[in-house]
Structure 1
């Protein structure tokens, strides 16, 4: 038996013709739909990139115990289990995070691997005289500097990709096809062919841009902001067209893989999965990107196609609820390898066969942020009821971030924890969490959506019976996953009675009659003033706040009472905090 996982990053289900979109040119995804079984209720688990990939290896949630993470010493890795049982596992990818500190233990679980260079600011070509990048924002300095570094290196890398065949997507797919060409007559192999596109930067050859009417390729640098929409409708349309053009390029290379499936008649004995780690907001809900806003279905409900030669169901759809943690046990079952006890995902086989239910609920989220759950019809987003992150921890033996090691300062307050039921009797480090995103996510509040009546999640509902059922299921899943005890407090599960709607966070501003958005903007400003020891301005704010009726009142106060060199940063933070939808 053989298996191919063709994986993309930030692939939007709602932008594919195979899911009913008529705005994009994706004939090969339509062809894929006709060849495979399409899942309609397939969800992410842990967000974003590497947390999702840890789930692809371990078949269990990452985000309940850890943020961005390498594989841990106690993790069961699906490719490694296959390798140990005689299956040759080969990884081809241009996803640079595999070669950074926060992902460096994944690729070596495979038998062999090929890294295609040049994607998203990959530290590839060594040019000493670097281009100057004009990027200024109010983001925290570490994030801002990381983005400047990535954009600078991207401008260097693209100089070496003038033709389509030089493009990292083209080279990645071609390397995967070379593996298939060399090994199609052999047995017992697994190919993970993983492309970073259509993730930003939207770097697209002109021929695809022209399909969407883009003539001036200097009009957009390919980097949408991770922010709420502030652009003109024309500018929004340009950004969306760049994504669509890149998606059409992705589609062309999906066609090449399908061609090889046809040419070598791999449909007889080869499982094919086409998937993604998460979606991406392109202006929906007036947001760009991911990470900061609630996990709407444009991000969380992802495309998933599978061909299982033992259950040949072509051009079929499935409504069974499933998610990323269900892929590893499906792969192990296909190769007759026993599923480890710590792997909590379920095999997809019953759902593929005749749409049998394999799970009642799927939870998903970012570490410390909203805890989200769906039963396929309803989505409930449970906000933290604690505003800060003083009682949130990371549990790890691999203390690295996306692109660096933990700093000595981050280890202050760390202690040894006896471990969990999946750490194989290993104690782990319990380290105080440190996340810009996590600290203020409570501002969005608890939310409940009925996807049947409002599939675009543009109308919240208040049905206590539904919320109570979903919260009860959340608590059961936390228990099944041996979740840290502080999560029960963080999400208010230890309260009686539990509040299911609204803003659960108690703050020092609750005694003031403020609109929710102004309250969170004031909290942001208050935190800034306290951290900068501006006690006299704090006193003035707590007096003037009673007269604030609009966002402009808050911005005017900050402009008058803060040093000018702090304006940009605080304006950015306050605007972000006051964006609640």
Structure 2
């Protein structure tokens, strides 16, 4: 073959190879790999304690990264503001009255089909690390290491498919260590993955990592405007709830005053601090004592002269020091995981979600805990990034719920959702298609009463302008809030004549949405009877 003939062949073949190569590249672009899904959930993390929402209390630069690279939702809510039921809603894509997990005490019906089961069946590798809160053998996971029940902050025990194990250290760090170990050592690189990375923190009793003891116990935080709320413009439910900082936050159990000092001051306490710090090794306990014992001794000297207002403020500050100190470790560890995804070249094809199982009161209305349909409990943080799909830095105010996660993840994974799921996929919003989103109101129903914190049973709906709530069972009270004029929900206008038309319209909308989601008075009576049968109602 002569040189001139070879040059001739190259001239003819090269363009053909170029077009074949371009065609293959276009084909690959048309058929992208299904995305990995990293679902990060903390426990009781109030949106007010994420600096992407509000930077008055704490800076959370790593969690904020998700919003800067993706989307921040300002109207994300839950369907039932309590830990285990919220998680059941997320897994099943069904309201509590449908999946059966109405409260923390009722068992989870394992015949429910969960979205991890469906993703695993469709070819995803699945893993869960951290706090599930119910059940010891979650279905649909190739690997799991979960805390039993609430779990412990220090030197925690974990449940695995191969038996229990106790790990030395701080729970937030350990959950991340387990997660990264799986990512590095046992992830199947030929499959997309679903990773559920679930933190215990900052759940009560808010126990920070030792590295944060000194810094956070010296901080002072701004007081909520309604810290001294007297509940005069609402119904009896707010007034009778047992979640006030002054009356119901325990000095020993919650605020780390040693039992011996609480007993010396004749303070009524649950006296359970020792049960949790007894897990510390002698070296760990020395660090704890060096920080918390001086605080307790100082309090013992000041307590006899404290009036209710001073004690409320002292409790609030101690609460925030430990609660926000717990969040500091969550933020650091979220950063570790995000850095791993970046460094391993996984970020471009990975959806990252950060949320909580519900909101939490940080002194608003004088409260801690959750349960109510009022905003601080009802709303939950939601930040999602998905490179090349979500435009970075977007804020979204549409009404979305934890009910929507299952269908969203299934659609991302090109997997068909069961017809009985009740949420709506968030993909139209994530892709900037507002016209593809039709929901204008969300439904809520809380059941766990009578029980801890004594928050009465109630259900309601909220849209961007108004919220209506019906408290029932041992009461029959209605509340209506004008969210534009009264964003802190301080004044119930259900009986205000100027809101008569709004009240009537919201009641009609509530009745309609209860039908849509297959909730009813008959189900209300059924779940009340369940409490009677269990001896929880006489």
Aligned to 1:266: 346
Q: Does 1:239 align with 2:243?
A: no
Structure 1 residue 269: Cα displacement: 0.9
Q: Distance in 2 between matches of 1:239 and 1:39?
A: 27
Q: Distance in 2 between matches of 1:234 and 1:353?
A: 46
Equivalent residue for 1:200, pick from 200, 204, 221: 204
Equivalent residue for 2:414, pick from 333, 336, 357: 336
Q: Distance in 2 between matches of 1:201 and 1:52?
A: 20
- RCO higher in structure (CA 8 A, sep ≥6): 2
Q: Distance in 2 between matches of 1:376 and 1:48?
A: 23
Q: Distance in 2 between matches of 1:240 and 1:472?
A: 41
Residues 30-75 of structure 1 show CA distances to partners (whole Å, capped at 9, x for unaligned) of 2222122111100001231111111112111014665224442542
Structure 1 residue 221: Cα displacement: 4.9
Q: Distance in 2 between matches of 1:94 and 1:453?
A: 38
Aligned to 1:431: none
Q: Does 1:67 align with 2:102?
A: yes
| TM-score under structure 2 length normalisation | 0.66
- The alpha-carbon distance between structure 1 residues 322 and 201, as it changes in their structure 2 partners (threshold 3 A), is same
- The alpha-carbon distance between structure 1 residues 286 and 353, as it changes in their structure 2 partners (threshold 3 A), is same
Q: SS at 1:19's partner residue?
A: coil
Q: Does 1:380 align with 2:468?
A: yes
Equivalent residue for 2:129, pick from 55, 80, 92: 92
Aligned length: 387
Structure 1 residue 276: Cα displacement: 0.8
Structure 1 residue runs without a partner (length 5+): 127-159, 388-441, 491-530, 532-581
Residues 469-494 of structure 1 show CA distances to partners (whole Å, capped at 9, x for unaligned) of 2222222222122224425889xxxx
Structure 1 residue 315: Cα displacement: 1.4
- The alpha-carbon distance between structure 1 residues 450 and 261, as it changes in their structure 2 partners (threshold 3 A), is farther
Q: Does 1:478 align with 2:514?
A: yes
| TM-score under structure 1 length normalisation | 0.61
Preserved CA contact (<8 Å) 2:154 2:169: no
- The alpha-carbon distance between structure 1 residues 477 and 94, as it changes in their structure 2 partners (threshold 3 A), is same
Aligned to 2:214: 210
Residues 388-428 of structure 1 show CA distances to partners (whole Å, capped at 9, x for unaligned) of xxxxxxxxxxxxxxxxxxxxxxxxxxxxxxxxxxxxxxxxx
Equivalent residue for 1:312, pick from 378, 390, 399: 390
Aligned to 2:176: 173
Equivalent residue for 2:143, pick from 112, 117, 121: 112
Task: State how 1:35-434 maps to structure 2 within 5 Å.
Answer: 35-63=69-97, 66-68=101-103, 69-95=106-132, 97-98=133-134, 103-104=135-136, 107-116=138-147, 120=151, 166-182=169-185, 183=187, 185-214=189-218, 221=252, 223=254, 231-291=311-371, 294-309=372-387, 311-354=389-432, 356=434, 357-367=437-447, 369-384=457-472, 386-387=473-474
Preserved CA contact (<8 Å) 1:13 1:19: yes
Residues 518-571 of structure 1 show CA distances to partners (whole Å, capped at 9, x for unaligned) of xxxxxxxxxxxxx8xxxxxxxxxxxxxxxxxxxxxxxxxxxxxxxxxxxxxxxx
Preserved CA contact (<8 Å) 1:346 1:358: no
Preserved CA contact (<8 Å) 1:38 1:317: yes
Preserved CA contact (<8 Å) 1:10 1:278: yes
Aligned to 1:500: none
Q: RMSD in angstroms over aligned alpha carbons?
A: 3.1
Greater Rg by CA: 2
Structure 2 residue runs without a partner (length 5+): 1-34, 158-165, 220-249, 256-268, 271-307, 449-456, 527-537
Q: Distance in 2 between matches of 1:355 and 1:303?
A: 21
Q: Distance in 1 between matches of 2:362 and 2:89?
A: 25
